[in-house]
Amino acid sequence: MSETSIQGFWQRLGCRALGAWLRFRSIDPENPGALVTGHDRPIIYILPVSALSDRLALSIFCQRLDLPSPDGDICLAHGRRFPARMALFDATHYRRHRGHVDRSTSLDHLITALEEYPDSDVDLVPVTLFWGRAPQRERVGLRHLLTADGWSLVGRLQRLAGVIMNGRSLEIRLGEPVSLRTLMAHGDVDEQFNRIRITRFLRRYFRRVRLQAIGPDLSHRRTLIRRVLRQPAVRAAAHDNALELGERDERALQRAERYGFEIAANMSAPVLRFLYQVLGRLWNRLYDGVDVHGIEDVEALAGTHELVYVPCHRSHIDYLLLSYVLYQEGLMPPHIAAGRNLDMPLIGPLLRRAGAFFMRRSFKGNRLYAAVFNEYLHQLLSQGHPVEYFIEGGRSRTGRMLSPKPGMLSMTLRSHARAPSREMAFVPIYIGYEKVLESNAYIRELRTGKKRKETPLGLLRVLRHLRQPFGRVQVSVGEPLVLGSYLDQRFPDWRSQEAGSEADWLREAVPDLSLEIATRINHAAALTPISMVALTILATPHRTIEIDLLMRQLKTLYALQAQLPGGKRVRLPEQGPPEWLARSEYLGMVSRIEHSLGDLITVSDERAPLLTWYRNNVLHLFALHALVAFAFRNNARLDFTTLERLLSPIWPALQQEFFIEADDKDFAEHLHGVLDVFVALGLLKGNGDTWQRPETGDEARERLYLLGRAIQPTLERGFILFSTLMHYPNGTISREMLEAQSQLLAERLTRLQGLNAPEFFDRRLFAGLLDSLERDGWLWQSQEKLNFDARLPEALMKSRTLFDPALRHRLTELTAGRPHTEASA
């Protein structure tokens, strides 16, 4: 028997023995046959190293999916034969040189053959296998975790253990076929360097795939902190700190080291996989499912860009959920910036091992801590670790996007400016819940203005809700922002300037970038059945609506987003109004009142404040639609010129408050688009350059009224704020006093109207509106007092005609009193 026959026998025996055990739980791409079929050139599978387990697994995989076999030979045009499967490197040689190998012997032979016969060519298909990395595995133990794939090459005994322990959770990834002749044609004149270049190309590919799946090689936490302490900026801050306190530099460096351990994560791959299993069971108990949209955009960037995930922050579940989703999709979970309040007993150490690094709420007055934190973040980014943080700073108690905080974005931009050649991308992510876990706590905090401190006991209280249904969760990836390209477009000379705190481009870039990211998050919003029902029923005077009208309004809301969406990546719900209503009833958001003349849908006084949270999740999508509808609430007929003059001063402030993109279209063009859709849906009747609302008694008028009511609380808050400001001479009231007085007046209005709506007088909403007015130049501060230009009184005067006489009188009477007396009381 020949040597080839003996090898074939042992190959078949090994495949038969191992084939009964292996399970491919994750395959990328999902249809690998499309990659390797339909090619005229012979195919050679390329493995990174020559491991027997990988060779056998590839053979079994190809056999099961009816792909070209890697066990035979391929024949070139001139008759010379080569193995259909090659390893780029020999594992022993590769391990001995710690990966610093620039030539592949097997590839050299193949290149030599193609150089001798120019009419020959082959397609190389890179193959990467991960033992124990597949996220779909349902059960896991310590032995599985310790034998799962990492960055280091393991010995034969540990690899055998990995096959036994993780053989039923195997992930395989096939790269796009690449012509070897094409790689050779793009080479250098130097033949030897050309071969090195091709080997490096494949080696970089395998590294990029591994980087995407399991992240960078995790250094020991202590090693990373020591690297941070060696940086000149940290040493300079320690020296200054020592001079201030009159102590030696060593004492200050010891303090910096304590800061480092207070901050640094201690990510552990086994803990990540263990948490994946635990969280998977938790999601199955809490939610009916997690829908993920747009993850392919992240996959396209992972491995080639430093990724910074920037999700909206609606719940403590956000960071756990996102890490779970990324792990499930075969991507490395990020290091997450968490508030120091979460570094509590039991919970803190676990979160550290899951990738959380902790930060104080304020760095003010502690330059040494700021230097350590800045350098730690830079080290994470420069080593390729994905990072996640929430630009809003804290969880939104109102359900809407909060004004971004500049801190983390500023530090990220400084880090990028230190090495601008690195590719960095921000990944905006919208997370939408049909029912949020902390809803009751949010309402309590809005009522009292006090935030409850997180404790381990508080976490245990949350567990009692596990038996309640919480619906589905939507995770939508917004349009990624490649930072270098963005800065080149907005600030062309940024690369030539320093990245210090006084850099002009940095001062302008941070607020500009924060608004852009917040806008991209909102553009990826998911419209859920709960948010649509909340948007409708909260617009009724007594939070009760006939079921037929509710169905028509839900259909109208869907049609508005289908024909004129409020964001580039809006996700629309499946099924139809009957199923959406049933969903809301199932989750306990609304209740049905049976009646012989037709059922009614109502929401209790206790539930009504909760529904405002879900309405606010998507209110920005309908901001312009609702503004136009509100204009016709007190005006039966309007021509285009009057309508534009009435709404154009208000729209920029709403764009800022709701983080709506200011695109190249002017307001008139947007307004025409809304009017056309309204006419198509029967909400308005057009006659030339004039539009009028439907007649009294027409059901379309009720739908128009309900749509306009959605924006009314926002307009009322603006009216209160502007009117209060107008009662003071220019430059005589501070921002803090204006916020406080507006909040008190808004609270008083809700009491007078008999509403239970603590979200309406949330002070952060007034602060956000003032931020937007300052950014647009309507307001500015001088000597801690507010100044305004002539546009503001003019806009206030125009907006008065939007409100009906009774409401206008109530608002005017409310703000005409003595607000300073209210504030002092």
Q: What is the pLDDT of residues 24-54, one digit of tens each?
A: 766 777 778 777 776 678 889 998 887 888 8
Statement to judge: residues 368 and 469 lie in one domain? yes
Q: How is residue 345 annotated by DSSP?
A: T
The larger pLDDT score, comparing residue 265 to residue 157, is at 265
Average pLDDT over residues 341-354: 84
Rounded alpha-carbon distances, angstroms, from residue 160 to 44, 128, 129, 136, 153: 26, 18, 15, 22, 13
Alpha-carbon span 524 to 519, nearest angstrom: 9
Tell me the angle at which helices 52-64 and 156-166 cross, rounded to the nearest 10 degrees: 30
Statement to judge: residues 336 and 252 lie in one domain? yes
Q: What is the pLDDT of residues 545-563, one digit of tens each?
A: 999 999 999 999 999 999 9
Give the model's pLDDT for residue 533: 96
Alpha-carbon span 766 to 201, nearest angstrom: 55
Instruction: Please determine, for residue 473, whether its predicted confidence score (pLDDT) is greater than 60.
Output: yes
Statement to judge: residues 106 and 176 lie in one domain? yes
Alpha-carbon span 218 to 224, nearest angstrom: 9
Residue 408: give the domain boundaries.
Answer: 221-523
Chain centre distance of CA 444? 27
Instruction: Please determine, for residue 630, whether its predicted confidence score (pLDDT) is greater than 90.
Output: yes
Give the model's pLDDT for residue 91: 63
Q: What is the CATH number of the domain that holds 420?
A: 3.40.1130
Give the model's pLDDT for residue 556: 97
Give the model's pLDDT for residue 193: 62
Nearest to 472 by CA among 507, 512, 432: 432
Q: Are strands 690-692 and 685-687 parallel, antiparallel or unpaired?
A: antiparallel
Q: What is the pLDDT of residues 314-324, one digit of tens each?
A: 988 898 899 99
Structure tokens at 108: 């050299």
Average pLDDT over residues 356-363: 89
Statement to judge: residues 269 and 390 lie in one domain? yes
Residue that terminates a domain, selected from 192, 214, 236: 214
CB distance 618 to 711 below 8 Å: no
The larger pLDDT score, comparing residue 467 to residue 172, is at 172
Average pLDDT over residues 454-462: 57
Give the model's pLDDT for residue 145: 43
Number of domains in the chain: 4
Residue 319: HSE in the Cβ half-sphere, 13 Å Cα cutoff: 20
Give the model's pLDDT for residue 368: 94
Nearest to 720 by CA among 628, 796, 659, 804: 796
Statement to judge: residues 202 and 265 lie in one domain? no
Alpha-carbon span 96 to 127, nearest angstrom: 23
DSSP string, 155-185: -HHHHHHHHHHHTTSEEEEEPPPEEHHHHHH
Statement to judge: residues 627 and 727 lie in one domain? no
Give the model's pLDDT for residue 200: 81
Instruction: Please determine, for residue 199, whether its predicted confidence score (pLDDT) is greater than 60.
Output: yes
Instruction: Please determine, for residue 585, whether its predicted confidence score (pLDDT) is greater than 90.
Output: yes
Phi and psi at residue 164, to the nearest 5°: -70, -45
Give the model's pLDDT for residue 81: 86
Phi and psi at residue 316, to the nearest 5°: -65, -20
CB distance 394 to 380 below 8 Å: no
Least confident of 183-197, 621-635, 727-741: 183-197
Instruction: Please determine, for residue 125, whether its predicted confidence score (pLDDT) is greater than 80.
Output: yes
DSSP string, 419-472: STTS-EEEEEEEEEESS-TTHHHHHHHHHH--PPPP-HHHHHHHHTTTTS---E
Nearest to 21 by CA among 164, 171, 136: 164
Q: What is the pLDDT of residues 482-532, one digit of tens each?
A: 999 999 999 888 887 765 555 778 888 999 999 999 999 999 999 999 999
Give the model's pLDDT for residue 472: 92
Q: What is the pTM of this model?
A: 0.78
Rounded alpha-carbon distances, angstroms, from residue 55 to 177, 386, 407, 787: 18, 31, 49, 73
Phi and psi at residue 787, to the nearest 5°: -125, 150
Alpha-carbon span 701 to 695, nearest angstrom: 7
Alpha-carbon span 43 to 127, nearest angstrom: 12
Alpha-carbon span 331 to 213, nearest angstrom: 5
Instruction: Please determine, for residue 459, whether its predicted confidence score (pLDDT) is greater than 70.
Output: no
Q: How far apart are the first and last CA of the chain?
A: 102
Q: Using CB atoms within 10 Å of the CB of residue 610, give its burial: 0 to 12 exposed, 13 to 18 middle, 19+ buried.
A: buried
Give the model's pLDDT for residue 161: 63
Alpha-carbon span 589 to 599, nearest angstrom: 16
CB distance 315 to 437 below 8 Å: yes
Statement to judge: residues 230 and 378 lie in one domain? yes
Statement to judge: residues 581 and 674 lie in one domain? yes
Q: What is the pLDDT of residues 698-744, one digit of tens each?
A: 889 999 999 999 999 898 888 888 888 888 888 889 999 999 988 88
Question: Letter for the amino acid at 395?
Answer: R
Statement to judge: residues 720 and 760 lie in one domain? yes
Chain centre distance of CA 187? 40
Average pLDDT over residues 782-809: 80
The larger pLDDT score, comparing residue 442 to residue 125, is at 125
Q: Are strands 481-482 and 424-433 parallel, antiparallel or unpaired?
A: antiparallel
Question: Letter for the amino acid at 384?
Answer: G
Average pLDDT over residues 353-377: 91
Give the model's pLDDT for residue 131: 77
Q: What is the pLDDT of residues 56-82, one digit of tens each?
A: 888 888 888 888 888 888 888 677 888
Residues constituting the chain: 825
Q: What is the pLDDT of residues 149-187, one digit of tens each?
A: 444 444 555 566 666 666 667 888 888 888 888 888 765
Q: What is the pLDDT of residues 382-414, one digit of tens each?
A: 888 899 999 998 888 888 898 899 899 999 999
Average pLDDT over residues 753-772: 79
Provide the pLDDT confidence category of residue 825 given band limits of 50, 70 and 90. very low
Statement to judge: residues 760 and 678 lie in one domain? no
Alpha-carbon span 372 to 256, nearest angstrom: 7
Return the residue matching tokens 């045009």.
Answer: 77
Residue that terminates a domain, selected from 195, 214, 233: 214
Give the model's pLDDT for residue 239: 93
Q: What is the mean pLDDT of the chain?
A: 83
For every residue of 574-602, which 3-state class applies, written as one string? CCCHHHHHHHHHHCCCCEEECCCCCCEEE
Residue that terminates a domain, selected from 686, 709, 732: 709
CB distance 128 to 87 below 8 Å: no
Statement to judge: residues 632 and 585 lie in one domain? yes
Average pLDDT over residues 455-464: 57
Structure tokens at 310: 């920037």
The larger pLDDT score, comparing residue 395 to residue 481, is at 481
Classify 693 as helix, strand or coil.
Answer: coil
Q: What is the pLDDT of residues 135-144, one digit of tens each?
A: 433 344 444 4
Range among 28-42, 88-102, 784-798 rated most confident: 784-798
Alpha-carbon span 580 to 576, nearest angstrom: 6
Statement to judge: residues 700 and 585 lie in one domain? yes
